[in-house]
Every structure is written in structure tokens, then in C-alpha cells.
Structure 1
């Protein structure tokens, strides 16, 4: 496929064309030429979109899709289509399927299912067998099959010695350990952030301490073992400070924050709507502002949608009983544009790919064409009509968004929403 992208402003700090409005010729999956008023000498398709901006393809470091086992929530095929139309050229797939992605055959299964799609799928292998936290999974075999990291989705490893051994073991093949932080004993039966809102609503609270004490333990283990650790979806002000201090000490630690924790707070729980029941819970405005500052000062390396489809039978029920999770691919960019500068958003959705050993293809001549197309302007309200996922459990319904993702050009395919 040959295509000329017309009048596109490039947002890519690694590109010599950063902040310039140019034409881009893509041929045979590569960026062939970048310039102004490019001649169409070979009858290439031409793409013109309103206020078009482009960057290297966005990456989401935490996406759940359900398949295999929970196809009623989402399939790999539809999930990758949703990701593409939402501007994501690559996703890291969480292992929380049935069976859990904890061995070589399961990694191969999801990779084969993703063949031929514009959005690339990079599996995360479970750190422990069946994500039960008892025995280490087949990490080296999964790495050889294409797993980009190892972690048990939304589960903190109680066995500190097992995490220590994992951190030591993966250094033999430059592996990345994902260490979700939540002390289950401190969390107890909590369902919402412990604070004024939970007390007023009579909801059992989850204190900040449940996250922070686990982060402290995990950082001590990392300091002892060396290696690489990624702490996903942090949510408190103290967590940001702890990781900032660890980085200053030279520890090889990275972290992410979710779109919903950067935009929403526990004030949303006033309606007892289970769409706002997530892990970790929505926190206070003080925490939200600390996360924003953590993104701006570089403490937080990645922003993720933490896209987690949940079927209506397990989501639309009493708040205490509903499953945790929100979908987020479709609303991610528009929500982030309401709280962060454009260049910061693009940086946090692209440059962190290297953390997961995924190539960064800058917008330059001769590079693989891995491109996201978007418009940072315009306002809209997110409605059910905007949801492309099979599950509809979005925490952003009714939220004002800014800008929109047009789609992606990747793997030799143009996908527009």
C-alpha cells in the first residue's frame, strides 16, 4: 500500500520534523519521504483529515481482552480493532485469560490470534503458575516465545522470596518483572478509597497504605537483587514520591499511571455506579494532582488505559459485589487531553515502549511506518455510541473529552475509526 499523508503536523521529539507540518509518503510499510507538497508520481492514495497530527504509534502497556476463556467480554480480533481505531499501534496483553498465559503454548496462541492485524500484540506472561502466587511460571520459555514482561495482573505477590528469586532469575535474559502493589491483608474487604467519600457512603475503605507498603517492600527487594522492575498503575501521592526517591538512588524501576486515575477521583462514587469500581481504587484530588505532577516531572514513565472489559452480568450489580475494571482504549486520548499537554501525552504513550523491549520507530525517512493519526482539537461528550468494545463498562461515559484519535497506519494497513 502506497499512501501520502497530506498536511500532517508531526509530534515526535525524536524526529527532525518535530512540530513541522509536512506530507509523508508511506510505501511498502516504510516512510519513504517527508517534505512539503510532495508530488504524487505513482498514483498513491492520498489521506487528508481535519487538523491532522501524527506521531509514532501509541503503545498501551496494560490491556485485557478476555480471549481465551472470556470471549463474551472481548475477543482478540475485536480488541485489536478497537485499539487501532483508538490510536494504539501496539498493546501489551495481560495474562488474565482462562487459561492464564503462563506457558509457551499460551503465548504462541495469543500471538497467532493477533497475526495480520494493524495493531501489534505483545503478550505479558504470568509471573506465577495460573497467577496463583505459589510457583514461578515458565519465564524463560515464554520470553523465547515473545513475552515482553512477567506479572500477575492486578495481583500482588505475597511471597517476597518468590519475587526476589524472580528478579534474580530474569536477569539472565534481561527480563522485566511487573510488580503490582497492593497488600491484600491491609486491603481486606475494601472496595473504595479509604477517606471522606467512603465514610460518607458507608463503603469499606482501601487505605493508601495498602499500595505504599507493598511498593516499599518491592523496592527493597529490587535494591537487593538488581534487575528491572515495573510498578503498574500507581495511584497515591506517596507512591509517586517513593518511586521518585528510588530512581534518584539509581534503581532500575519504572511505573505507570492509568488514564482514569489522572482524570477522575473518588467523588465519582457518590452514585454508587460500579463503572467506577477499579483496581487500585479512584483516589482523592490530592492524589490525582500528585500523579499529574509525576507525569510532568518524569517520575511516571507510562500512561495506560488499563483497558479491562467486564461483561454486564459481573459489572452492573451492587457496588460491593461488582468486578473491578473499566474499558479505556476508546476514551484514553480525549480524556488525557483535558489534563495534560499534548507533547507530554505523546511522550508517555510512545517512548516507554523501550521499557518493554518494543522498538521505537521515529518518524523519519527509511523507518518502518508505525504511525498514529489524531486531532488534538475539538470537544465532545463520551457516550455509548463511542464504545467499540464488546463490553460497555466505561468509567468515562458522560465525561467531556478534547480531541480525537483518527486511527493508525501500521503493519502496512490503514485503520480509521
Structure 2
């Protein structure tokens, strides 16, 4: 199959055509020609309003539910949502039932994802059943295709266990995650501890809980060596801690969830459980620091932290509802509303792929076509009609967004919304 992308503005700093408007010809999954104008010779033509293209976006924190929680989202629909939201690759968390904590479970995920346009990369559990007691079979799972190890949204409280994991994973260049939360400090907090939690009568979770855990992990990393990734940081101090660690030469990377870049705890005044996330929404000052962290390069990755929750566990009193928001469909429009395209596109493409050791396919001739198609100037209000996920728990409902994904070309497939 031959596909012709017409008048596409290329956003790819590694491409010789960066910021140029070109026609792009793709044959059997390979970019064969990039020119000012290519004549249509019975090709499959894609001509879209204000078409922009970049290297394929990679979301490094996605939950699908399957196996065990298919009512939230199954792999088939999840990958379709990801493709139509502009993601050519997703890293899938281990928070299913059973937990992805062994070789067979990793292979199950990979086999279920065969044949889709969007690539699925399993993040396997760091500990058995994600209980934080015994380390899982890390090497075997990596051999089966796991690209990292994490107990999704669960901190490892045992200092020695985290130390051993960092030491052990070095034998096969494994990447270890540590969720930034100290449960002893956070207690039963469900909102950022501060003015809003006090006004609303919600139990507060102090930022100190995040800082203590990050400080511990950085001390352990300095002692052990190895590679550490800290997912979904949410505070000013967290950015500062990681900045200092990078200055020391430690192999530490971090991500931030899009809702932590765009929404503050001011949203909680309506007690809408869609805003109940983990870590909790922080202050506007934290938002500014996180955005600065993106621009300065301290923060490596932007993720949707897509976490579908069924209505029975989400449409409850705020204190009883389960944490999490979906985010694939709103990801680009939300982040493009607060950052310039040049400030963040690498945090969705080359940087996350580098962190996870994956190849980034540049937009140039004779390169594999792994491309996201989007319009950065489309302004709209995100409504329920924009949600493609099985679960509807979006923190961005009725928010004004800027920019919309058209879809992707990847694995020799064109997927458009």
C-alpha cells in the first residue's frame, strides 16, 4: 500500500525537513519520497486541514485493565483509542488482575497487541503481585519483552528491596521505577494538603510525602548506580531534587502527567471525583514549576497517565472514588494549550524513546514510517462525544483545548479518527 500525505508541516528536529511543508510518500511502511509536491498516482491520499506531522508519540504510562478489568478498557479498544489520539506506542502498566508480574503475563500482553498500528510495550511489576514484599522475576520478564519494572501508583516502602532492585537490574540494563509517595506521611490524604483541602474538609496529602520518597530513592541510586525513573512528579521541590541529582551525574529520569501541568487543586471545589488522581492535583505554583521543568529539560517525559475507571468505582463521593483519569484523547489538546509545540514535542517522541531504549524513527527518506498526524491550531471544548475509551472518567470534560490529533501512520497502517 502506498500513502501520500499532502502539504504536511514536519515537526522533527532530527529531520532535514524540520518546520518545512512537504508531501510525504510512504510505500509498504517506508518513507520513500519527501518533496514539495508529489503527483497522485492512484495513491491513498491524506489531505487534512493544517496537517502537521511528527515522529510517533509515545505514552509511557497507560492502563488498559485487561486482563481482569475489561469493563474499564480492553487491549483492543485501548490500542484503537491510542492510535486515534496520535500515539504510535504505549507502555502499559501492570495494574491488571492478575498483575503482570511473570513471563507468561508479559507474553500475554504482547500477543494480544499483535497486528495493531500502535505498539504495546509492557511495564512489568517490580514486586510480586505489586505488594512491595518480594521482587518479581525481572530478568525473565525483560527477556519476554518488558521494557521497565514498576508497581503502578504503589510506592516500595522497603528501602532494602529498592536497593536490591537497583543493583540487580544493572545486570541486564533494566529500568526501575519508583512511585514518588511515602505512605506513612501521606496517610489517608486524598487531596493536596493546603488551603483548598482545608476549606473543603478533605484529608490532605502533603507534598512532603513525595519529596521524602524521591530523596530516599536518589540516595539509594547514588549508592547503587543503575537506572531509576520517577513517574508523574507533581511538585516544585520534586523538580529541584531531580535537577540536582542530574547535575551529580545520576542516571535518573522523570515524567509528569498532563493533568499536573494543566489542572490545579482549585478544580476540587465541585467535589468532582474525576479530579481525584494520584498524586493529587497540586497548586498553581507547582504547575508553573513543572512547566518550567519541561522547558529546562529537567523533566524528560510527558504522559497522559491514562487510567480508565468504571462508573461504579468513580461516580461516588470524592473520598470513596478510585483515583485516576483517562487522558489519551485529551492529551495533545491539553498540553498544547499550555506549552508551545517546540517546547514539548520531544517529550512525547525522542526523549521517552531514549529513556526506554527504543528507536526513534526520524521523518526522512528511507526511514520507517512511524508518524503522528495532528492540527496544532484546532480550538474546541472537550466533551463526552470526544471520549473513545470504554470508561468516561476524564478530568478534561468541558475544558477548552487547543490542538487535535488526526491519527497515526505506523506498522504499515493508516489510522484516522
TM-score, normalised relative to structure 1: 0.99
Aligned to 2:250: 251
Q: Which runs of 4+ in 1 moved over 4 A?
A: none
**Which digits, 9 at most, give the CA deviation of each residue in 1:144-197, with x for residues without a partner?**
000000010001100111111110111111110011110001111100000000
CA–CA separation in structure 1 for the residues paired with 2:403 and 2:101: 38
CA–CA separation in structure 1 for the residues paired with 2:403 and 2:294: 20
Aligned to 1:353: 353
Aligned to 1:372: 372
Aligned to 1:6: 6
Tell me by how many angstroms 1:357 deviates: 1.5
Aligned to 1:238: 237
1:214 maps onto 2:213 in alignment: yes
CA–CA separation in structure 1 for the residues paired with 2:349 and 2:378: 23
Tell me by how many angstroms 1:354 deviates: 1.5
Q: Is the 8 A contact 2:295 2:344 kept in 1?
A: no
Tell me by how many angstroms 1:39 deviates: 2.8
CA–CA separation in structure 1 for the residues paired with 2:128 and 2:222: 25
CA–CA separation in structure 2 for the residues paired with 1:116 and 1:345: 30
**Which digits, 9 at most, give the CA deviation of each residue in 1:13-67, with x for residues without a partner?**
11110000001110011111111111334x2211100000000100000000000
Aligned to 2:288: 289
**Which digits, 9 at most, give the CA deviation of each residue in 1:238-276, with x for residues without a partner?**
000000000001000000001000000000000011000
1:307 maps onto 2:310 in alignment: no
CA–CA separation in structure 2 for the residues paired with 1:386 and 1:36: 34
CA–CA separation in structure 1 for the residues paired with 2:30 and 2:173: 29
Q: Tell me, which stretches of 5 or more residues in structure 2 are unaligned?
A: none
1:83 maps onto 2:79 in alignment: no
Aligned to 2:164: 165
Aligned to 2:152: 153
Aligned to 1:32: 32
Superposition pairs of residues 185-224 of structure 1, within 5 angstroms? 185-224=184-223
CA–CA separation in structure 2 for the residues paired with 1:269 and 1:308: 19
Q: Tell me, which stretches of 5 or more residues in structure 1 are unaligned?
A: none
CA–CA separation in structure 1 for the residues paired with 2:310 and 2:116: 24
Tell me by how many angstroms 1:345 deviates: 2.3
**Which digits, 9 at most, give the CA deviation of each residue in 1:355-402, with x for residues without a partner?**
112210011111110000000002100000000000000000010000
Q: Is the 8 A contact 2:382 2:396 kept in 1?
A: yes
Aligned to 1:21: 21
| Structure 2 residue matching 1:378: 3-state secondary structure | strand
Superposition pairs of residues 78-157 of structure 1, within 5 angstroms? 78-157=77-156
Q: Which shows bigger deviation, 146-155 or 341-350?
A: 341-350
**Which digits, 9 at most, give the CA deviation of each residue in 1:299-354, with x for residues without a partner?**
00000000000000000001111000000000000011110010222111001212
| Structure 1 residue matching 2:18: 3-state secondary structure | coil
Aligned to 1:412: 412
CA–CA separation in structure 2 for the residues paired with 1:391 and 1:130: 24
| Structure 2 residue matching 1:230: 3-state secondary structure | strand
Aligned to 1:65: 64
CA–CA separation in structure 2 for the residues paired with 1:271 and 1:49: 39
Q: Is the 8 A contact 2:294 2:344 kept in 1?
A: no
1:399 maps onto 2:405 in alignment: no
TM-score, normalised relative to structure 2: 0.99
Aligned to 1:332: 331
CA–CA separation in structure 1 for the residues paired with 2:45 and 2:188: 56
**Which digits, 9 at most, give the CA deviation of each residue in 1:63-97, with x for residues without a partner?**
00000000000000000000000000000000000
CA RMSD of aligned residues (A): 0.6
CA–CA separation in structure 1 for the residues paired with 2:48 and 2:78: 25
Q: Which shows bigger deviation, 358-367 or 203-212?
A: 358-367
